[in-house]
Structure 1
Amino acid sequence: MTIAFLAYPKCSLWSLIGSFEMFQKTCRMAEVYSQKFRVKQTCSLITVSSTHERKIVGSYGNFFEADSTIYDIKRPDILVIPGFDRDIAGILSDTKMVEKILEFYNQGTDIATVCTGSFILAATGLLDNKTATTHWVYAREFVNRFPKTELMIDRMLIDHDRICMSGGASSFQNLMIYLVEKYMSKELAIFMSKVLLIDNDRFLQSPYTVFNGQKTHGDEPVLLAQQIIEERVDEFISIDELAQKSNMSKRNFLRRFKHATGDTPFVYMQRTKVEAAKTLMEDSHNQLIEIAMQTGYDDFSSFRKTFKKHTGLTPQEYRKKYTYRQAN
């Protein structure tokens, strides 16, 4: 089994090299403990450039020299596509790379994408009428570019048999462990998660999401309403008041707000309050019930339910996860 790791200009070398070296170590362990782990198939690894030159420059100006190029190798069994941090339009303008990926897939290559690598895969059309995931920061951009794909932004991993995707940034670790289990051995995957100290129970991205609101839409009355919601996070503001302050009818306000932000005003209010509560949990030692009241909730059970809905964690679980402690 040949696994090729794709290096393309402005890709994240962290996810490229990290993925590659995780499989290097895994293959080495499979050899050392060959009597312990009965793998379905052994693997050979190769890094390939998306250009006709082996050298590329990554996201932050660092150079990387691949073993070969996608134009000079036989069809790999698996192609791993890392993510990127910037210049979506520029990266997707490399139509030859996109076409080659599609050609590999049609010839039998399985595809695995890390983080924003799913943008490149979606550009091939292979995700049309399928679900997908990507980094939560780029969720709106993904939806706008690929309306035929259902984005499940909370999902850390998605598997469509011959296509696998992971969510944001460090989730490449979870994806590589998943691929080890899928193509090599479940026992080996469990062993490697222990060796590499990888929590293999990360299923959702929502605990890591930071809500910043959608402010690039240019609709001034909606921007005003967003500002009011964010400034008065300790109360629930009526839709009638927001519509009045925006100089719109209630019906028109609801329509424009949803179109501009992607959320209803009520959901936007909830998400703003949850984000404020997260910050208070991280930066203060206030009781959770006090934090609930500071964000407009008199009923703690309602606060807890809303918090878990938007983060995937209870307030207690979130505070435990994100309260930093001294090493000693």
Structure 2
Amino acid sequence: MKHLTILVPDAQVSLNTFTCIIGAYDIFKRANEFWKENGKEQLFKIQLAGVSEKTEINNGLLTLKPETNISSIKETDLVIIPAISHDFNQPEKGNIQLIDWIEKQYKNGAEVASMCSGALILASTRLLDGKSCSIHWNTADKLKRLFPKVIVKTDRLITDEHGIYTNGGGYSFLNLILYLIEKYYDRETAIYCSKIYQIEIDRQRQSEFTIFKGQKAHGDDIIEKAQVYIEENFQEKISMEELSQKLAVGRRNFDRRFIKATGNTPVEYLQRVKIESAKKAFETTRKNINEVMFEVGYADEKAFREIFKKITGMSPLEYKKKYNKKAMSEY
């Protein structure tokens, strides 16, 4: 029998932490039961493990008690790290012990999976250095700032690299659980669990859920002025050459600083601002594709469709159908 450790952080917890722990425990337990019903032995012994006797949120509104201390688990096959609070800047209290234990278990052959902001705990082990990592789009900038060696994949729902798994955010941790169940059990069990818990199987991207907010906590005043200018004038034709001159910065240096500060080239940043405005128009108005396209500053329908799909993973019409049922009912 394999061993699954679901970690219970000692500090820096949120309601999402509890949700991830309970969801993972429940679904893996059901997968075990499905195997037993079909004449197989349960695959995993599942344990909640931490370093404290209990973890609380909201002054004891909810309390979770680990079954065992991590010190009693000498060997495990799979470690799951739940989401943590988004105000994380460095590990606190007993989470430092968790980090050391995770690193040791991985080096001993265990695989490790993080859910949403749990990637911040995983990245603290340095096991993610040079590896791909998915995280909630709203926490991606923090991950990039705190751990610049991690390759952040904001469009990917799940990453799988060298026995390390990560996933996007919110309740997409359920998709990661199904992914792990298919990998460890089989496809049949994953489909069964997806039907029991009504989780959409085989989701690959989180792009359509992203709300683009330009990273401005970088300390480069010139680039922040450029961002503000782009955001206020994106409907117009913006020349990056002229913008760099306006800010008294050479074009090559402007591009270099812009990428360093925001993670995007100036042109990519402009595209993302335009598409974010288009998304809001599709969600909230009855405007058709061409009206929105012209409104955000595109004249070429093919280019607009290609860039929209590249950023969101969906065509403009698909996006409008999904997020504005009322407008589509009038077609």
TM-score using structure 2 length: 0.88
Give the letter aligned to residue 85 of structure 2: D
Q: Pick the aligned partner of 1:14 from 16, 19, 38.
A: 19
Alignment identity in percent?
A: 36
**2:32 touches 2:43 (CA, 8 Å); kept in 1?**
yes
Which residue matches 2:181?
A: 180
**2:12 touches 2:92 (CA, 8 Å); kept in 1?**
no
Partner SS, residue 142 of structure 1: helix
**1:281 touches 1:319 (CA, 8 Å); kept in 2?**
yes
Give the letter aligned to residue 313 of structure 1: M
When structure 1 is superposed on structure 2, of 290-299 and 84-93 the one drifting more is: 84-93
Alignment of 1:208-227 (within 5 A): 208-227=209-228
Q: Quick one: distance in 2 between partners of 1:158 and 1:217? A: 27
* Residues 59 and 262 of structure 1: CA distance in aligned 2, closer, same or farther (over 3 Å): farther
* Residues 19 and 267 of structure 1: CA distance in aligned 2, closer, same or farther (over 3 Å): same
When structure 1 is superposed on structure 2, of 223-232 and 278-287 the one drifting more is: 223-232
How far apart are 1:55 and its partner, in Å? 0.3
How far apart are 1:58 and its partner, in Å? 4.3
* Residues 60 and 84 of structure 1: CA distance in aligned 2, closer, same or farther (over 3 Å): farther
Which residue matches 2:158?
A: 157
How far apart are 1:144 and its partner, in Å? 3.0
Partner SS, residue 225 of structure 2: helix
Which residue matches 2:263?
A: 262
Which residue matches 1:170?
A: 171
* Residues 80 and 70 of structure 1: CA distance in aligned 2, closer, same or farther (over 3 Å): same
When structure 1 is superposed on structure 2, of 268-277 and 178-187 the one drifting more is: 178-187
Which residue matches 2:55?
A: 56
**1:47 touches 1:67 (CA, 8 Å); kept in 2?**
yes
How far apart are 1:56 and its partner, in Å? 1.1
Which residue matches 1:71?
A: 71
Cα-to-partner distance string for 1:77-102 (whole Å, 9 max, x where unaligned): 21111111323224367432211111
How far apart are 1:148 and its partner, in Å? 3.1
How far apart are 1:2 and its partner, in Å? 2.0
Which residue matches 1:318?
A: 319
How far apart are 1:60 and its partner, in Å? 8.7
Give the letter aligned to residue 236 of structure 1: K
Which residue matches 1:287?
A: 288
**2:117 touches 2:169 (CA, 8 Å); kept in 1?**
yes
**1:110 touches 1:163 (CA, 8 Å); kept in 2?**
yes
Give the letter aligned to residue 53 of structure 2: R
**1:222 touches 1:256 (CA, 8 Å); kept in 2?**
yes
**1:92 touches 1:123 (CA, 8 Å); kept in 2?**
no
Q: Quick one: distance in 2 between partners of 1:152 and 1:134? A: 8
Q: Quick one: distance in 2 between partners of 1:254 and 1:60? A: 48
Partner SS, residue 204 of structure 2: coil
How far apart are 1:269 and its partner, in Å? 0.7
Partner SS, residue 89 of structure 2: helix
Which residue matches 2:30?
A: 25
How far apart are 1:270 and its partner, in Å? 0.4
Q: Quick one: distance in 1 between partners of 2:195 and 2:162? A: 26
**2:12 touches 2:88 (CA, 8 Å); kept in 1?**
no
**2:86 touches 2:117 (CA, 8 Å); kept in 1?**
no
Aligned CA-pair RMSD = 2.3
**1:225 touches 1:245 (CA, 8 Å); kept in 2?**
no
The alignment of Structure 1 onto Structure 2 pairs a total of residues equal to 320
TM-score using structure 1 length: 0.89
Cα-to-partner distance string for 1:275-328 (whole Å, 9 max, x where unaligned): 0000001111110110001000111111101111111111112122222569xx
**1:112 touches 1:163 (CA, 8 Å); kept in 2?**
yes
Which residue matches 1:238?
A: 239
Q: Quick one: distance in 1 between partners of 2:176 and 2:183? A: 10
Q: Quick one: distance in 2 between partners of 1:125 and 1:217? A: 23
* Residues 259 and 180 of structure 1: CA distance in aligned 2, closer, same or farther (over 3 Å): closer
* Residues 253 and 112 of structure 1: CA distance in aligned 2, closer, same or farther (over 3 Å): closer
Q: Quick one: distance in 2 between partners of 1:222 and 1:127? A: 29
Q: Quick one: distance in 1 between partners of 2:72 and 2:215? A: 43
Give the letter aligned to residue 49 of structure 2: V
